[in-house]
Structure 1
Amino acid sequence: MGIQVLIVEDEAKIASLMESYLRTEGYEVLTAGDGIDAVRLYSRSKPEIVILDWMMPNLNGLDTCRKLRQLGSPGIIMVTAKSEESDKIVGLEMGADDYLTKPFSLRELGARIRSLLRRMNPGGNDDAASVLRRGELVIREDGLQAFVGDREAHLTPTEFKLLHLLASKPGRVYSRMQLLRHAFADEFIVDERIVDSHISKLRRKLENAGQPYDYIQTVYGFGYRFGAEHEN
């Protein structure tokens, strides 16, 4: 079975164009006309990627994104006519991993999906090299998973990308811009403040999973680092 993509779009013509293109690219495609249907389809099929329109009837894209994040960790690309940077930040803070502004080309959509899939599966194998161990924290590249002891912290692809980078080099300080460029596609750079939002959520999820201390440390006025004392 190939990569499955869920298109959530209430304009039938746009949904049909995206579906036809993605099928020719080799993806398995599901379609939903509103957020309620999207949540139902995701619960049943757990697609890897969700293309999510912002403005929809019954349940808007932001609320749908929030519900999908409660159900799993798909890669979510928000699609909308809203082009203001503040709107993009709101979408990302709600859990989206990328953002496309209408109108966009189908080739751009395909490129964003491929980029997001690479971020979601940086290791691509299931051997010891794909596992990072930092104290009680275990990070699995192959499954896009992080565990504190035996409890999983259910991370979004963006949160996982940030954690993996920081934990790969304990003690090294990364600026917000470095983290932003690593976590998002090169062509999609937004306000550096969005990093703070993702780090805050990442810390909270690790804490809820039972972390005994704060692995991620703030370097005030610059960025973040993974505590060197947790290297082993």
Structure 2
Amino acid sequence: MTNETTAHMNQVLIIDDDTELTEMLSDYLRAEDFSVQAVHDGETGVGAALSGHHDVVVLDVMLPRLSGVEVLRQIRQHSQIPVLMLTAKGDDVDRIVGLELGADDYLPKPCNPRELVARLRAILRRSVATGASGGVDERVVGRISLQPGRRVACWDGQLLDLTSTEFNILETLMRHAGQVVSKADLSNEALGRELERYDRGLDMHVSNLRRKLGTLADGRSPIQTVRGIGYQLLQDD
């Protein structure tokens, strides 16, 4: 494999102490044209995730030395690299905490390698598509301004500290400002995948985004829930 080919491969960091699972996932990802590094404890994982050498992180919740939740907390203090968390099947607490701390997506363990690849490609596709223009094009809705090429979003001129997924959701809502966007459409456009039954991940991301945005003059959030349908970004100042 040439250096040129390697340079164009997406760099995945797996942080998981299950060496057998890690080897299996690594082999599968490499066969799908990903470059993979795997580490097996939380402390090493934090350093690797913050090295700037990777495009996306696959992070297990149960880790030695530092828990996956603490690893994510430390990563988010310094970086908005996309993070997909692996949680125990049916463990809603870990999943919810991970999303609240800024995980971009999650999968229950044991995970299907094909599904993992699909989720990773969806995360990366959105990041690449949003930044592909590379220009300084700007969208403004009310007090929100957004530059997709630079992946920069502001409220009243103040920089917003958004995860990759939160940025994608905000960009999608801004493109449809004043319109109701169904949850299914928002999941497809912002998360790059179909909305799954009983999946509350999208709602958690929107809730996190609301907390980071300011409020309108009347105290409302600019992102309104339209019960039974989806969300609407208001155009009011």
Bucket of the pairwise TM-score, normalised by the shorter protein: 0.7 to 0.9
CA contact (8 A) 1:180 1:192 kept: no
The correspondence for 2:15, drawn from 4, 8, 28, is 8
Unaligned stretches of 5+ residues in structure 2: 1-6
Structure 1 residue corresponding to 2:224, chosen from 218, 221, 229: 218
CA distance in 1, matches of 2:199, 2:182: 9
Partner of 2:27: 20
Separation in 1, partners of 2:211, 2:162: 10
**For residues 219 and 112 of structure 1, do their structure 2 counterparts lie closer, same or farther at Cα, with a shift above 3 Å needed?**
closer
Identity %: 34
Alignment of 1:1-232 (within 5 A): 1-2=7-8, 3-45=10-52, 47-85=54-92, 87-123=94-130, 124-127=132-135, 131-148=138-155, 151-176=158-183, 178-187=185-194, 189=196, 191=198, 194-207=201-214, 216-219=222-225, 221=227, 223-229=230-236
Residues 85, 188 of structure 1: alpha-carbon distance in 2 compared, 3 angstrom cutoff: farther
Q: Which amino acid in the other structure matches residue 125 of structure 1?
A: S
Inter-partner Cα distance in structure 2 for 1:216 and 1:5: 35
Q: CA 1:206/1:53 → structure 2, altered by over 3 Å: closer, same or farther?
A: same
Displacement after TM superposition at 1:49 (Å): 0.4
Shift in alpha-carbon separation, 1:197–1:176, aligned structure 2, 3 A: same
Is the CA contact (8 Å cut-off) linking 2:122 and 2:193 kept in structure 1?
no
CA distance in 2, matches of 1:131, 1:26: 34
What's the offset of the Cα at 1:108? 2.5
Paired with 1:39 and 1:67, the residues of 2 have a C-alpha distance of 7
Residue pair 1:5, 1:48 contacting (<8 A) in 2 also: yes
Alpha carbons 2:46, 2:75 under 8 Å: kept:
yes
Cα distance in 1 for residues equivalent to 2:68 and 2:42: 7
Q: Which stretch of structure 1 is more off in the superposition, 21-30 or 159-168? A: 21-30
Distance 1:188 1:62 in 2: 24
Residues 6 and 50, structure 1, Cα contact 8 Å, conserved in 2? yes
Query: Residue by residue, what CA displacement relative to the aligned partner does 1:46-97 show, whole Å, maximum 9, x if unpaired?
Result: 5220001111111111221222222211221112332355653343233222
Q: Cα deviations across residues 3-47 of structure 1 (Å, max 9, x unaligned)?
A: 321110112222223233333433333222111111111222252
Task: Report the Cα distance in structure 2 between the residues aligned to 1:107 and 1:51, rounded to whole angstroms.
Answer: 14
